[in-house]
Amino acid sequence: MMKISDLGEFSLIDRIRRKAFRSGDVLVGIGDDAAVLKVRGQSKRLLWTVDHVVEGIHFEKGEDWKRVGRKALARSLSDIAAMGGVPKHALVSLGLPRGMAVKKIDLFYEGFLKLAREFKVSLVGGDVTHSPKDFFSSVAVLGEVSRDRCILRKGARRRDALFVTGSLGGSLLGKHLRFRPRLREGAWLACEGIAAAMIDVSDGFLSDLGHILEESHVGASLDLRKIPISQAARIMAGRDGKTPLRHALEDGEDYELLFSSREKDFSWMKAFKKKFGIPVTCVGHVIHQPLKIFAHDEKNNTFEIKAKGFRHF
Amino acid sequence: MMKISDLGEFSLIDRIRRKAFRSGDVLVGIGDDAAVLKVRGQSKRLLWTVDHVVEGIHFEKGEDWKRVGRKALARSLSDIAAMGGVPKHALVSLGLPRGMAVKKIDLFYEGFLKLAREFKVSLVGGDVTHSPKDFFSSVAVLGEVSRDRCILRKGARRRDALFVTGSLGGSLLGKHLRFRPRLREGAWLACEGIAAAMIDVSDGFLSDLGHILEESHVGASLDLRKIPISQAARIMAGRDGKTPLRHALEDGEDYELLFSSREKDFSWMKAFKKKFGIPVTCVGHVIHQPLKIFAHDEKNNTFEIKAKGFRHF
C-alpha cells in the first residue's frame, strides 16, 4: 500500500492537477501561489488562494492565540503578494476542539482582524465545525490584480537574475508568527515591471526555487556567498550543528519573495530598499538546463544541489 | 472559563460578525449561506462559501472515500443553491494523517471531481497539509448570480408561505453522503421569482428555519401535519424511540431547500414537481412575531416550539 509519506506532497498535487476539470475562465489553476480567474468584461483578474494553520504543525500548543490568528491570515496574504496582487476578502473556517476556551477564539480573531484591517481585507464569512482533537483553521482569500501585472511561477527565462527579499532561515524562532506579508513589495515589483516570475518562500528557499524552475522549465545558478542569512539561522545553527547557510536554504516559513527579473539595470534595488526598508539581494541567475541547480561556494567550487525544503509528508 | 460548548456555534459567529471589517463591495458578509460580493461594472454578483468535512464528525472511519470526496464538494454547492446561484470554481484544502494511503486520496478526488464535472465546477487549487490525527477537508466555492436573483435569508415577510423541497429526517442513514445539491431547483426558484428568502437545511429544519426568522425579523406558523417525513426518519424512529416527525424537524444534513414565497398562485408547484421530479411542500407561513414558531398538530392543538437542530458544540 502506497502511503502519502511515500508519494510526497508535490506528486500528490500533480496527480490531482492532471485530473481536474478547468473551464475557460480559469487562467491559472492548480500549481501557482494562487488561482487566477477571468471575470467577464473586466481587465482585473481575480486571485484566489487558501492556506491552513494546524495546531502542532504550524504552531505549538500554548502559543499566543493572537499570533496564531495573525499567522492564519498572513499565510494566505503572502500567496497574494507572490502574484503581485491586492487582497480583498477572506473566509475563515475553523475546526475547534469541543472544550476549547472562548477566550482563545476571541484572541485568534483579534490577531486575525488586526492584520485584516491593516491590509483592508474584509472578513466575509466562514464555517465553524468541531474537530475531534486539534485546532485547525483554513483561510481562503480573494484578491485582484491587473491583467498585465499578474506574476506567475512560470515567467522565468534564461539569464534572468534571481532575487530574494529580506533574510532567510531560522523562522521557527519566531518570524513564522510575526512576519509581515510582502504585499506592498510584491505589488511594487509587479507594477514596476521588475519581477518576471515570483513565489513566496514558504516551503524553503531551495524548494520554492524548485517550483519556479519546474513551472518555467529552466535551471538556476546560485552564488551561495550572496544568500542573505538571518540572525535566527545563525542561532539555530549554533544549537543544532547544521550550517547557517543550510538553514537559510532549507528552512520553511520565511515568507520572503523570491523572484526572477530581466531588468538589466539594477538601480531599482536602491529604490526598493529605500521604499520598504528591507534588503533585496541578487543570489544568482537563471540557466537553460531544466530543474538543475548549480551552486558556487566561498572557495569558488561549483557543484550541483537538489531542491530541498520543508515537506509535509 | 467559558468554553465553546457553553457559548454555542451561532453566538460564536455573532461575536465575530460584530468585529469584522467590511468594505463597500461586500453586499452580504457573515450570516448567510454564502457571502455576496460586488464586482465593479458587473451586474452579476460573486457568491463565496466554504464548508468542512471532518473525519469522525461528517463521516465515519471506514466510509467509502469516493462518497467523502463527493460530500466535501456537495456541502458547499448546497450553499450556492440556497442563494439561487451557479457554482463556478472550487479550492480544496486537505489535512492528511501522515500514514494515509494514497488510494484513499485518489478515491476522494474521484468522488469530488465526478460531482464537479456534473455541475461544471473547475477545481482551481488548494493546499495540502499534515493533520496530527484525523482527516479533514475544507472546500471553498465561488459562484455567481444575477444581481436581482440573489436570494438571502433576510427576505421573508409576514404572510409569505413557507416551503421545503424533498423529504426530511434520518439523513444519517445515507442521504448525507449521496444527496444531490439542489442547484437546478434553487436557480429556478430564484429565476422564476418564487423564492423570497432561502436556506439549505443543513443544521436541521427548525434550526435553519430559525436562521431565516432571525435574519428576516419574523416568526413562523407551522402545520406539523404537512412536514414531509422521509422513510429514513421513520426507520430511525423505529430504532431510537423518537417520533418520525421529530427526526424530520431536528435532524441535520438534509440539504433540502427551505424557502418563503410571496406568490399567491401555487400553480408553480406542479411545474416544479414535473421539472425536477421531487416533492415541494407548503409547511406553513410567516407571521409577524419575531423568532416565534407556533405549530399546529394533528389534533389541531397550537403550541410554541423552539428552533432546534444539530449543534456543533
Write down which residue in A149, A174, A189 finishes a domain.
A149
Please check whether residues B101 and B173 belong to one and the same domain: no
pLDDT of residue B22: 77
Give contacts of B136 with chain A, Cβ < 8 Å. Answer: 95, 131, 136
The predicted-structure confidence for B94-105, as pLDDT tens digits, reads as follows 999 988 998 999
Helix (H, G, I), strand (E, B) or coil at B216: helix
Please check whether residues B49 and B99 belong to one and the same domain: yes
The predicted-structure confidence for B295-307, as pLDDT tens digits, reads as follows 998 888 999 987 6
The predicted-structure confidence for B214-223, as pLDDT tens digits, reads as follows 999 999 999 9
Among candidates B41, B52, B142 on the partner chain, residue whose Cβ is nearest the Cβ of A129: B52
Say how far apart CA B290 and CA A31 lie, in whole Å. Answer: 49
Residue type, B279: P
Domain boundaries, position B38: 24-149
Asked if A126 lies within 8 A of B23 by C-beta distance, the reply is no
CATH number of the domain to which B90 belongs: 3.30.1330.10
Give residue B67's pLDDT band: very low, low, confident or very high (50, 70, 90).
very high
Asked whether residue B14 is assigned to any structural domain, the reply reads: no
Mean pLDDT, chain B, whole residue set: 92
Please check whether residues B144 and B160 belong to one and the same domain: no
Backbone φ, ψ for residue A160 (5° rounding): -60, 145
Please check whether residues A119 and A238 belong to one and the same domain: no
Among candidates B20, B117, B312 on the partner chain, residue whose Cβ is nearest the Cβ of A21: B117
Asked whether residue A196 is assigned to any structural domain, the reply reads: yes
**Across B267-287, average pLDDT:** 98
Please check whether residues B282 and B298 belong to one and the same domain: yes
Among candidates B12, B99, B142 on the partner chain, residue whose Cβ is nearest the Cβ of A3: B99
Asked if A4 lies within 8 A of B100 by C-beta distance, the reply is yes
- pLDDT higher than 90, residue B206: yes
The low-confidence residues of chain A, meaning pLDDT below 50, are: 312-313
Helix (H, G, I), strand (E, B) or coil at A196: strand
Asked whether residue B166 is assigned to any structural domain, the reply reads: yes
pLDDT of residue B140: 95
Please check whether residues A9 and A145 belong to one and the same domain: yes
Q: List the strands of the sheet with B26-28, edge to edge.
A: B26-28, B35-38, B44-54, B136-146, B86-96, B122-130
Say how far apart CA A171 and CA B292 lie, in whole Å. Answer: 54
H or E element at residue B284: strand B280-287
Please check whether residues A277 and A138 belong to one and the same domain: no
Asked whether residue A122 is assigned to any structural domain, the reply reads: yes
Please check whether residues B164 and B116 belong to one and the same domain: no
- pLDDT higher than 70, residue B294: yes
Mind giving me the DSSP string for A53-100? EEBTTTB-TT--HHHHHHHHHHHHHHHHHTTT-EEEEEEEEEEE-TT-
Partnered with residue A268 across adjacent β-strands are none
Does the CB of B138 have a partner CB in chain A at under 8 Å? Answer: yes
pLDDT of residue A41: 78
pLDDT of residue A54: 93
Asked if A124 lies within 8 A of B48 by C-beta distance, the reply is yes
Asked whether residue B16 is assigned to any structural domain, the reply reads: no
Write down which residue in A149, A167, A190 finishes a domain.
A149
Q: What b/e readout covers B128-167, taking b as 16+ CB neighbours within 10 angstroms?
A: bbbbeebbbbbbbbbbbbeeebbbbbbbbeeebbbbbbbb
Please check whether residues A204 and A118 belong to one and the same domain: no
**Across B243-267, average pLDDT:** 96
Say how far apart CA B88 and CA B70 lie, in whole Å. Answer: 16
| Closest Cα in chain B to A54 | B131
pLDDT of residue B308: 59
pLDDT of residue B309: 53
CATH number of the domain to which A213 belongs: 3.90.650.10
3-class secondary structure per residue, B221-249: EEEHHHCCECHHHHHHHHHHCCCHHHHHH
Does the CB of B30 have a partner CB in chain A at under 8 Å? Answer: yes
pLDDT of residue A11: 76
Asked whether residue B193 is assigned to any structural domain, the reply reads: yes
Count how many domains chain B has: 2
Give contacts of B12 with chain A, Cβ < 8 Å. Answer: 102, 105, 128
pLDDT of residue B307: 65
The predicted-structure confidence for B5-54, as pLDDT tens digits, reads as follows 777 766 777 777 777 777 888 889 888 889 999 988 788 999 999 999 99
Say how far apart CA A217 and CA B276 lie, in whole Å. Answer: 50
Write down which residue in A98, A128, A149 finishes a domain.
A149
Please check whether residues A42 and A81 belong to one and the same domain: yes
Please check whether residues B59 and B108 belong to one and the same domain: yes
Asked whether residue B15 is assigned to any structural domain, the reply reads: no
Asked whether residue A311 is assigned to any structural domain, the reply reads: no
Say how far apart CA B156 and CA A186 lie, in whole Å. Answer: 45
Residue type, A223: D
Please check whether residues A110 and A170 belong to one and the same domain: no
